Structure 1
């Protein structure tokens, strides 16, 4: 299970907006991210960079798997595993009952 982030979603959205707003004031996007991270108390500039990249993917401005697609894929994988387990149980039960039918019965 994934570790819960110490940063709330609102802080993430705010950081992404701030980077977009202050980007023209800095010579590079990285320096804008560093300034925003310092203002918001985020320990790593890389954290802000990952939030910005994720927002770009979700907005369609950058190629990649969106957050919604990732969640749907995760849900489908979980459902697939559950169905495989159920199928194995049914196979075992079918084998058990088939063996029961092959036994000679004494009346």
Structure 2
């Protein structure tokens, strides 16, 4: 048999507060879920339950152009994140190469 992990439980207050991190800040469920270390599907249920409880209108589904724009922005975000990582590594490389005691004009 596999290991049995105890299922985490969350208080109703915690669930409401987590849901409001999405509802009140316009951050995505996936972003908030990652920040608070909760599964995105679980947080999505909490958000829906809280919206139902407070009578908030559900988010309107994206139309085709909005969906395409979102996908383009996600790709661009990924590319920029990778570029930023590379630039950080390159800067560290050149900083290490230019340590005191070495001639800067090689």
When normalised by structure 2's length, the TM-score is 0.41
Rg larger in structure: 1
Structure with larger RCO (C-alpha < 8 A, sep 6+): 2
Between structures 1 and 2, the one with greater helix share: 1
Q: TM-score, normalised by structure 1?
A: 0.41
